[in-house]
Amino acid sequence: MKIVVAGSHGLIGTALVGRLRRDGHAVQRLVRRDASGPGEVSWDPSRGRLDPAALEGAGAIINLAGAGVGDKRLTEAYKREIRASRTSTTGLLARTVARLDQPVPVMLQASGIGAYGDQGDDVLDETSPLGSTFFAGVVRDWEAAAAPAAEAGTRVAFLRTGIVLSPAGGAMRRMLPLLRLGVGGRLGSGDQYWSWITLPDEIGAIVHLLHADVRGPVNLVSPQPATNVEITRELARALHRPDLVPAPALALRMVLGEFSSEVLGSIRAVPSVLTASAFRWQHPTTADAADWVASQVGSRRVAAAR
């Protein structure tokens, strides 16, 4: 199957493209530079430029594009960039799909569990109301931008991804060095729920949704959300390190600014839609996830030594 992927060079996109190609799919990557080969197509979402021919004959579109939410301090300018980087890419893809003679059957659109905002210990599934935070507002606009594709008959599923656990990047990129030094304790009180998923399960869920008859929001998280302190303790255990030094909430707010609300906020999301569609996790528990992360750290050390 021909699959068009936008946002293919990040943590998730890189792993996903590799998996799709191993599965025998013809992957067409959308890139914001001159194309360097037949597997790439140049586009410019900020100027609304995308050749419809790039989407013709595709069995699916997977859009993961968007500026990193934790990469920079959340100034007003960067907030605008975060929102625009998502709505412009999604809107351009959706409008282009709607103009095709034969709509693309499936569009898997990136989103996030930040949609729900801080709701404490409340269990949140895909029917739960969205929150009122900045990121919840971004998700509203982000998902709404896909409407033209859905109206044209494309099955659109929104990938509301949680915290992706992988030593290759994401949240672990900052946490693992501290944990390996034995100073990676809880963040704030540690009582806040983190809804997480390992990178292999994230990729497996996306591949699963290419074929599962699912549309609308899908929480891409493990079936066992855990508190920050529970996750930290399991990671420290798997790495054979203590977790003794906490990061006070005040210090996190000073360092991270408004983004600290995403670290200290509590989102207890559960994957009701994935579960109902018979998806199977490789790492359903925090212990499973921590052991996998630790094994990958070991593998990367061996590779580096060679």
**Sheet containing 40-42: which strands, arranged edge to edge?**
40-42, 26-31, 2-6, 60-63, 106-112, 155-161, 216-220
194: region left, alpha or beta (phi > 0 left; psi from -120 to 50 alpha)? beta
CA neighbor of 276 nearest in space, from 127, 110, 106: 127
Q: Cα separations (Å) of 68 from 7, 10, 79, 259?
A: 11, 9, 11, 12
Quickly state the pLDDT bin for 74 (edges 50, 70, 90). Answer: confident
Residue 114 has pLDDT above 80, yes or no: yes
pTM of the model: 0.89
Q: Cα separations (Å) of 206 from 89, 111, 131?
A: 19, 12, 25
Higher-confidence residue of 62 and 171: namely 62
What does the pLDDT look like over 148-172, one tens digit per residue? Answer: 999 999 999 999 999 899 988 776 6
Quickly state the pLDDT bin for 100 (edges 50, 70, 90). Answer: very high
Domain boundaries, the chain: 2-301
Mean pLDDT of 99-111: 95
pLDDT over 70 percentage in the chain:
82
What does the pLDDT look like over 7-60, one tens digit per residue? Answer: 999 999 999 999 999 999 999 999 999 988 889 999 999 999 999 999 999 999
- Pair 93, 66: CB distance under 8 Å: no
At residue 208, the pLDDT reads: 98
Mean pLDDT of 111-131: 94
pLDDT over 90 percentage in the chain:
63
CATH class of 2-301: alpha beta
Quickly state the pLDDT bin for 284 (edges 50, 70, 90). Answer: very high
- Per-range mean pLDDT, top range of 112-121, 131-140, 244-253, 267-276: 267-276
At residue 185, the pLDDT reads: 57
Query: Mean pLDDT of all residues in the chain?
Result: 86
Residue 142 has pLDDT above 90, yes or no: yes
Distance (Å, whole) CA 216 – CA 206: 14
Mean pLDDT of 239-267: 56
Q: What angle, 0 to 180 degrees and rounded to 10, lies between the N-to-C axes of helices 228-239 and 171-180?
A: 50
Distance (Å, whole) CA 2 – CA 267: 35
Structure tokens at 213: 């008859």
Distance (Å, whole) CA 207 – CA 108: 10
| Helix (H), strand (E), coil (C) string for the chain | CEEEEECCCCHHHHHHHHHHHHCCCEEEEEECCCCCCCCEEECEHHHCECCHHHCCCCCEEEECCCCCCCCCCCCHHHHHHHHHHHHHHHHHHHHHHHHCCCCCCEEEEEEEHHHHCCCCCCEECCCCCCCCCHHHHHHHHHHHCCHHHHHCCCEEEEEEECEEECCCCCHHHHHHHHHHCCCCCCECCCCCEECEEEHHHHHHHHHHHHHCCCCEEEEECCCCCEEHHHHHHHHHHHHCCCCCCCECHHHHHHHHHHHHHHHHCCCEECCHHHHHCCCCCCCCCHHHHHHHHHHHHHHHHHHHHC
At residue 257, the pLDDT reads: 47
At residue 180, the pLDDT reads: 63
